[in-house]
């Protein structure tokens, strides 16, 4: 993949490497405005990634010190990781949707011990086996903090307000709230004619929401505070109204499909046309996955047992420790959706709570 691509019309992409990750790169986008260049996402916080970003900016004819602002599609470290360093080097503002800004604030304020306790409670309630919990107990006993989800990400200075045009001199860029992958994920719609006159309605910076070849991870939205202070019974937690990320994601996908964008500029893989077709494909994929899971629930299963039985990109035994926790979160999000649709329900009296199709 070329390091820098000129997408014309004052839009470039810079491939910024993600260390030790099969995704390979984050495509950071650069948008020229009348008040200076603006970045969409920044990349992973790592010295090589930083060098790649700054070299890429120079190849586009600018420099990191010239940046005027940073728009963050969502709080994940492969998107928001270098934002603090960019702000420090340039004085640029950082903008993010309020729901993801809240996640950043919680992450910064969370005490390592309370995060670990939250994780242990959550995994226990989902039926995780002792060997999966043991490293967390050990970390808590030793006061280790390595289970923190990420280091101190930058607090944004500005809010991205859904539906509004962003305050960018000389450009028409509208924020579209697309919750699902994270609670405050946004896509950014450049409402300007396509420079190569591709038919359709402008270009869409889609972040992780719409990718050409992969379906983004959708798990439960994490909120340690809420779980620690709320009713701790597992069944009430899974049935609580604190979100239906899969439902949000599918709604957001439909909304994006209706835009009719001429071209999609995603944050991984490559730019593509045919947004509506890709949306249809993903909607069908998720319908299929949900009915597959419902079939698995003809047998009562805890969320952990469901995760073990689901189809992943490799056999369960070969999924590394951290990815199993993420897979579990995805299984729980799907359970939430099935329960909300009245297609599954908790088995009365089961502990940890098991689910069964209805």
Contact 328, 126 (CB under 8 A): yes
Whole-angstrom Cα distance, residue 55 to residue 63? 8
Judged on CB neighbours under 10 Å (0-12, 13-18, 19+), 231 is exposed
**DSSP symbols for 314-341:** S-GGGS-HHHHHHHHHHHHHHHHHHHHT
Name the minimum Å distance from CB 18 to Zn ion.
8
Name which of 208 and 244 has its Cβ closer to Zn ion: 208
**Nearest residue to Zn ion, scored by beta-carbon proximity:** 76
Q: Decide if residue 209 touches Zn ion (CB under 5 A).
A: no
Cis peptide before 300 (omega within 30 of 0): no
Tokens 């909120």 map to which residue? 223
Listed residue (342, 308, 74, 303) closest to 182, CA to CA: 74
Residue 206 CB, shortest distance to Zn ion, in Å, is 11
Stretch that binds Zn ion, among 73-81, 223-231, 237-245, 294-302 (CB under 5 A): 73-81
Among residues 78, 100, 244, 263, which is the contact residue for Zn ion, using CB under 5 A? 78
Q: Does 76 bind Zn ion (CB under 5 A)?
A: yes
Give, as one character, the DSSP assignment of residue 88: H
Residue 40 CB, shortest distance to Zn ion, in Å, is 12
Residue 44: CB atoms within 10 Å: 24
Backbone angles phi, psi at 205, to 5 degrees: -85, 110
Minimum gap (Å) between residue 95 Cβ and Zn ion: 17
Give the range of 49-57, 74-82, 237-245, 335-343 binding Zn ion by CB under 5 A. Answer: 74-82
| 100 vs 208, beta carbon nearer Zn ion | 208
CB 191, min distance to Zn ion, A? 24
Among 41, 208, 222, 263, binds Zn ion (CB under 5 A): 208
State the maximum Cα–Cα separation within the chain, in Å, rounded to a whole number: 65
* Minimum distance, C-beta of residue 34 to Zn ion, in the bound complex (Å): 29
- Number of amino acids touching Zn ion (CB under 5 A): 3
CA triplet 228, 209, 282: central angle to 5 degrees?
110
Least CB distance to Zn ion at residue 41 (A)? 8
Give bridge partners of residue 189 from the DSSP assignment: 174, 204
Nearer to Zn ion, 82 or 354 (CB): 82
From residue 101 to residue 140, the character string flagging contacts with Zn ion as x (rule: CB under 5 A) and all else as - is ----------------------------------------
Nearer to Zn ion, 37 or 180 (CB): 180
C-beta neighbour count of 56 within 10 angstroms: 22
Q: Which stretch binds Zn ion (CB under 5 A): 91-99, 204-212, 291-299, 339-347?
A: 204-212
Catalog residues that contact Zn ion under the rule CB under 5 A: 76, 78, 208
């Amino acid at each position: 993949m070329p390091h820098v691509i000129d997408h014309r019309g004052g839009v470039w992409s810079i491939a910024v490497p993600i260390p030790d990750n099969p995704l390979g790169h984050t495509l950071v986008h650069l948008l020229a405005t009348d008040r200076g260049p603006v970045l969409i996402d920044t990349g992973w916080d790592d010295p090589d990634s930083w060098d790649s970003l700054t070299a890429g900016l120079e190849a586009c004819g600018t420099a990191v010190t010239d940046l005027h602002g940073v728009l963050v599609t969502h709080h994940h470290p492969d998107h928001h990781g270098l934002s603090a360093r960019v702000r420090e080097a340039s004085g640029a503002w950082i903008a993010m949707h309020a729901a993801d800004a809240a996640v950043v604030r919680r992450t910064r304020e969370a005490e390592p011990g309370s995060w670990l306790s939250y994780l242990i409670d959550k995994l226990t309630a989902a039926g995780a086996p002792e060997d999966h919990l043991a490293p967390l107990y050990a970390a808590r006993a030793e006061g280790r903090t390595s289970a923190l989800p990420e280091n101190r990400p930058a607090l944004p200075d500005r809010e991205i307000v859904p539906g509004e045009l962003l305050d960018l001199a000389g450009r028409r860029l509208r924020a579209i709230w697309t919750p699902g992958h994270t609670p405050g994920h946004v896509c950014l719609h450049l409402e300007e004619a396509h420079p190569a006159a591709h038919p359709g309605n402008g270009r869409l910076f889609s972040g992780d929401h719409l990718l050409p070849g992969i379906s983004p991870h959708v798990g439960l939205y994490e909120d340690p505070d809420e779980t620690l202070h709320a009713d701790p019974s597992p069944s009430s937690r899974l049935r609580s109204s604190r979100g239906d990320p899969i439902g949000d994601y599918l709604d957001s996908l439909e909304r994006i499909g209706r835009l009719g964008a001429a071209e999609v500029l995603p944050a991984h893989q490559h730019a593509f046309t045919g947004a509506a077709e890709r949306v249809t494909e993903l909607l069908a994929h998720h319908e299929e996955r949900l009915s597959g899971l419902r079939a698995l629930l003809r047998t009562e299963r805890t969320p952990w047992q469901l995760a073990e039985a689901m189809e992943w990109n490799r056999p369960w035994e070969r999924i590394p420790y951290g990815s199993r926790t993420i897979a579990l979160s995805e299984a729980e999000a799907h359970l939430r959706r099935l329960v909300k649709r009245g297609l599954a329900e908790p088995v009365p009296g089961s502990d940890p709570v098991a689910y069964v199709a209805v």
